[in-house]
Amino acid sequence: MELRDYQVTAIDQGTEILMKYHLLYLAFQTRTGKTLIALNIAKGFTNVLFVTKKKAIDSINHDYILGRFSYHLTVINYESVHKVNGIFDLIILDEAHSLGSFPKPCKRVKDLQRFTNHKPIIYLSATPSPESWSQLYHQIYLSSYSPFKQSNFYKWAHDFVNITKKYLYNRETNDYKDANKMLIWVNIKHLFLMKTQEDAGFKVEVEERFLTAKMPDNLKNIIAGVMRDKVYIDDKFSIVADTAVKVMQKVHQLSSGTVIDDNGYQIISEFKAQYMAQWAEGRKIVIFYKFKSEFDMLKRSFPKWTDNAFTFQSSEDLTFLGQFQSAREGIRLDTAEAIIFFNIDFSFLSYEQARNRIASFERSNKAILYWLFSDTGIERRIYKALMKKEDYTLKYFNHDRINFRAALE
């Protein structure tokens, strides 16, 4: 397997950092090859544990086989770590930001602790702290060689976070998001190697385009009813949205033709899926969806589908169907002609990571991302927030709702 010059340099630099500090963080942007770099750094070890997302396992095993590495590699997803037994002399943690919950550690951190004690660790993530630098504490806390000496997050936050107050369910609580970036960075920068796509020589930019499907009148009426009355009940559906957050959530679901009502996941209209199937005929595409019921109707419209990225990459006529949160990380989809966002997630991180799936060194043609919006749904309003690199929140929804209701009538 041929390595690029910057990858060879990163392997040398990363090996030096790992040997000196027993901890290395590869903060390389998506598709710059951090997995392959980590696998090569691992050459100096005997028994390696690689923890990742489930959908990335096939790709990592494929790279391991192509690299003809002599060490033993165990690749497992985070949800199955508790099933693993053995003694490993190196731990590689892919998409490490998923370990960054605070103020309390998440279950993944607790599951990993029995493997990481006094073991060298390589962390991999394009976005080490996507929401707050406080997310770095429990990632590095896993290492016995952490530069942070505080024994728990609360003691650490006393030194590294501007602790403020917020209200959650009408109760005052501490907010730990405002971490001191400069102070944290001074303590950890010697452990990091960083690389952007531009630094790595990416020449292909993703072009964004828009598709619009006409929403049927009955769906407009249901959305208008939910926004006006916080409830919509007929002989088929029982939609109750008794808070502002629930109204926002139901409107989001309904804008693409589905809803989660009192009876579970429901498909009200397949107008978007039918539009997509007609438009995509003869194209090799990736479709990202949000809700389970969207997946159900897309499978009907695209009978030749897969949710396995490795299978899709080598196919000629399959459509990849991926849920935003489960498929936005750790997989490669660059043989696609285009990515379509069938629905739109509230999270800027979901947008950014899903968007990057189509980019790679090998691509020479233009990478295209299509947004599929309904003509009167909420999707365009969410899009505007994401373009500001912000999540779509209730603040945005409350600002939009008067104009949005008028557009439905």
Q: Quickly count helices (H) and strands (E) in the chain.
A: 16, 18
- pLDDT for residue 361: 40
CA–CA dist 186, 36 (Å, integer): 28
> Can you say whether the dihedral through the CA atoms of 46, 52, 57, 60 is positive or negative?
negative
Q: Mind listing the pLDDT tens digit for each residue in 231-281? A: 999 888 899 999 989 999 999 999 999 999 888 899 999 999 999 999 998
Q: Are residues 232 and 93 in the same domain?
A: no
Residues 190 and 273 in one domain: no
For residue 359, pLDDT beyond 60: no
pLDDT in tens, 112-133: 999 999 999 999 998 899 889 9
Inside any domain, residue 294: yes
11's enclosing H/E stretch is helix 5-21
386 falls within a domain: yes
Pair (186, 211) in one structural domain? no
Q: Is residue 201 part of a domain?
A: no
Answer yes or no: are the C-beta atoms of 90 and 120 closer than 8 Å.
yes
Residues 269 and 390 in one domain: yes
Mean pLDDT to the nearest integer, 202-209:
69
Domain membership flag for residue 303: yes
User: How wide is the angle at C-alpha 373 spanned by C-alphas 291 and 258, nearest 5°?
Assistant: 30
Q: In CATH, what number is assigned to the domain containing residue 266?
A: 3.40.50.300
**243/176 same-domain check:** no
pTM, two decimal places = 0.65
CB 17 within 8 A of CB 190: yes
What is the pLDDT, as a whole number, of residue 368?
82
DSSP per-residue codes, 118-147: T--EEEE-S-SSSS-GGGHHHHHHTSTT-S
- pLDDT tens per residue, range 343-353: 888 888 777 76
* pLDDT confidence band for 210 (50 / 70 / 90): very high
Average pLDDT over residues 19-35: 90
Task: Give the domain-ending residue among 174, 195, 216.
Answer: 195
Other CB atoms within 10 A of residue 179 CB: 22
| Residue at 393 is within a domain | yes
Hey, which residues does 174 pair with through a beta bridge?
A: 165
Domain check: are 162 and 224 in the same one? no
Residue found under tokens 């599929």: 372
Greater pLDDT, 213 or 235? 213
Question: 9-13, long-range: CB within 8 Å, 24+ apart, which pairs?
Answer: 10/37, 10/193, 10/195, 11/37, 11/40, 11/41, 13/193
**In 161-216, alpha helices (H):** 181-188
Percent of the chain past pLDDT 90, that is, above it, reads 59
Can you tell me the distance from the alpha carbon of 53 to that of 39, in angstroms, rounded to the nearest whole number? 16
Higher pLDDT, 368 or 107: 107
Q: Looking at 195, 220, 239, which one is the last position of a domain?
A: 195
Asked whether residue 101 falls in the same domain as residue 164, the answer is yes
Q: By percentage, how much of the chain surpasses pLDDT 70?
A: 92
Pair 232, 184 in one domain? no
Instruction: Work out how many domains the chain is built from and give that number.
Output: 2
- Strands 72-77, 231-233: pairing is unpaired
200 lies in some domain: no
Chain mean pLDDT for the chain: 88
Identify whether residues 166 and 277 lie together within a single domain. Answer: no
Domain that holds residue 358: 206-408
- The structure tokens listed for 307 are 């949710």
Q: Report the pLDDT value the prediction gives residue 336, as an integer from 0 to 100.
A: 84
More confident residue, 311 or 357: 311
pLDDT tens digit sequence for 363-387: 556 678 899 999 988 898 888 888 8
